[in-house]
Each structure stands twice: as structure tokens, then as C-alpha cells.
Amino acid sequence: MATTAAAAAAADSTPLQVCGCKGIRTCLICERQRHGSPPWQRSPQKKHCFLYCPDTGWAMGPKDSDLEGWAFPFPGVTLIKDFVTPEEEAEMVRLMDSDPWKLSQSGRRKQDYGPKVNFRKQKLKMAGFQGLPSFSQKVVRRMGLYPGLEDFRPVEQCNLDYSPERGSAIDPHLDDAWLWGERLVSLSLLSATVVSMSREAPGSLLLSSAPALGPDALKGSIVAPSRSVPCQEVEVAISVPCRSLLVLTGAARHQWTHAIHRRHIQARRVCATFRELSSEFLPGGKQQELGQELLQAALSFQGRPV
């Protein structure tokens, strides 16, 4: 009995693991430490799930489901496979791990290379921002070799570290459009995942019956829409392989939220997301001088996490 009591006392004195969750955000660490009925609620799974096809640019109904053979165009997504080599990937992660990671929401860790921003008040500070990390210079230069990214000049890089042990995830969200520009560019490292796209706008999506949908079929006539599903019940899954580059623009950037569900983190994943400036901070914009200062600092590639 004394041994049992001593063990219980020792267990009670064990320091709790910490996480970076706030409000309704949770991870496996804080969920295990909370008692009683959880005050948070998980978003229910969408009723209609589609798979993004990078060859056609359409969202396709999965095989062996009631949506098989149905599809709708899903513009604004570019997926570049094998953007970096396994050797480059290993070196990038090694250099990231040589700097500290900060705890973030929903079981993630992060490293920020960018200005300090208050998006609600639309204010930012240059303090501490010395640019993107040196190891990203080659990556950014390579981006410019691909169509649609020739003039991409990132002013911020955010590294996120996902772990199944922490139950890492990121809730559906739209990135800010006051400071950040048209293209969101993310480099996926160490393991594959799925980026889940959804929208809460009212209305319906019109589906086309196209059982033979493919690159050749898209060049010809497409069957007129003959079925509709509510927008709020639809989710589009984009399979993102390891070492690939994902670019979101247009509707995929501004109308469809993006998320990564906990179930889609099966092993450690590191993601480097690069953001460019909005037109307000570019030549001709009302904050062009500040934008030039930000770009000059960012592209010096002398930064450390802020």
C-alpha cells in the first residue's frame, strides 16, 4: 500500500507536458490532460468528398462511391512533384532543426521568418526581421523556373512541424489578403499528407457526369451539369506527396479554406510556406515603400526565426 501511495504521489508530481493550444484549439497533449466533458467540438466530416486530379484540374468523385463518375472543375491548384531531392530535403530539415521551434496551436511547432503582424489592426513591425533563411535561397530561385512563379518574390517563410504523437493538425482557414498576395506556396518535407479544401458559402456546386474524364476528355465536350450538391457539404482532398510544391491561387486561395486533418499526419511532416506581398505593398500601392523595405530584407536571405 505504501509503495502504491508513493507511486501515485510521484505521478502527481510529474510536470505536465506543455502545448501551444489556445481557446478551442487542442492537441493530443492537452486533450489527455483535461478532465471532464471537453468544451471543444471537432468539425464534422463533410458529406461529399472529392479527390483532386492534378492531371485534369478537376475534383473527382472517388471510385466505389455514389459520387463516382461525377466531377467539377477545381481551378487554382498547381502541384509540382519532386521539387527538391531527398538530399536537399534532409539538409533543409537538418538546418531547420538547428534552430529552436516554438510551440503553436493544434499540436504544431513553428519557425517564423517574417515581420511581426497584427492582422486585426492591419499593422506590422520590422523589428527582428532580417530575411528568409539562407538555405531557402536556392529553393526560391528554383521556383522562378516554373510557369506561374516566374515573378514570385516571397517576403515571409513559415515552417510548420507536424507530429502524429502530438496530434498535429490545422483547422480550415483562409490566409490573410491584406498583407499576403495572390499565391500561397508550400513545400512539403519528410512525409506525404492531404490538404483538405472546403467552403462555407451558401449555394450549390454543379457536377458533370463524366465517367471517362481525363486529359483528352477535357479537350472535347463536357457533359452539361446534371447534379448538384450543397457547397457546405463538399470537401476536396489534395494528395500532397513528400518533397512536392503546392501552389494555391484564385478561388483555391480566396474562396476555399484549406486544412490538414489529424488523421492525415501519419509521420513527422515539415512544411515551409512562402507568402508574397499584396498589391497594397507593391509598386503603385499606398504602402509601396514599406513593401520595398520588406522585400529587400526578405531576399537578403540572412534571417533567423523571429
Note the pLDDT of residue 16. 56
For residue 161, being part of any structural domain is answered with: yes
Q: Is 72 left (phi over 0), alpha (psi -120 to 50) or beta?
A: beta
Query: Per-residue pLDDT for 170 more than 80?
Result: yes
Output the nine-digit C-alpha cell for 95. Answer: 538546418
131 near 153, Cβ under 8 Å?
Answer: no
Note the pLDDT of residue 27. 92
Query: Per-residue pLDDT for 215 more than 70?
Result: no
231 near 203, Cβ under 8 Å?
Answer: yes
Mean pLDDT of 229-236: 95
For residue 257, being part of any structural domain is answered with: yes
168 near 162, Cβ under 8 Å?
Answer: yes
For residue 183, being part of any structural domain is answered with: yes
SS3 for the chain is: CHHHHHHHHHHHHCCCCCCCCCCCCCCHHHHHHCCCCCCCCCCCCCCEEEEEECCCCEEECCCCCCCCCEEEECCCEEEECCCCCHHHHHHHHHHHHCCCCEECHHHCEEEEECCEEECCCCEEECCCCCCCCHHHHHHHHHHCCCCCCCCCCCCEEEEEEECHHHCCCEEEECCCCCCEEEEEEEEEECCCEEEEEECCCCCEEEEEECCCCCHHHHHCCCCCEEEEEEHHHEEEEEEECCCCEEEECHHHHHCCEEEECHHHCCCCEEEEEEEEECHHHCCCCCCHHHHHHHHHHHCCCCCCCC
For residue 166, being part of any structural domain is answered with: yes
Q: What is the tally of structural domains in the chain?
A: 1
Q: What is the CATH number of the domain that holds 272?
A: 2.60.120.590
For residue 217, being part of any structural domain is answered with: no
Burial of 57 (0-12, 13-18, 19+ CB in 10 A): middle
Mean pLDDT of 125-137: 94
For residue 68, being part of any structural domain is answered with: no
For residue 213, being part of any structural domain is answered with: no
Q: How far apart are CA 5 and CA 276, in angstroms?
A: 58
Q: Which domain holds residue 293?
A: 76-203+238-298
Note the pLDDT of residue 224. 62
The mean pLDDT value of the chain amounts to 89
Note the pLDDT of residue 40. 45
For residue 81, being part of any structural domain is answered with: yes
- Note the pLDDT tens digit of each residue in 16-33: 568 999 888 899 998 888
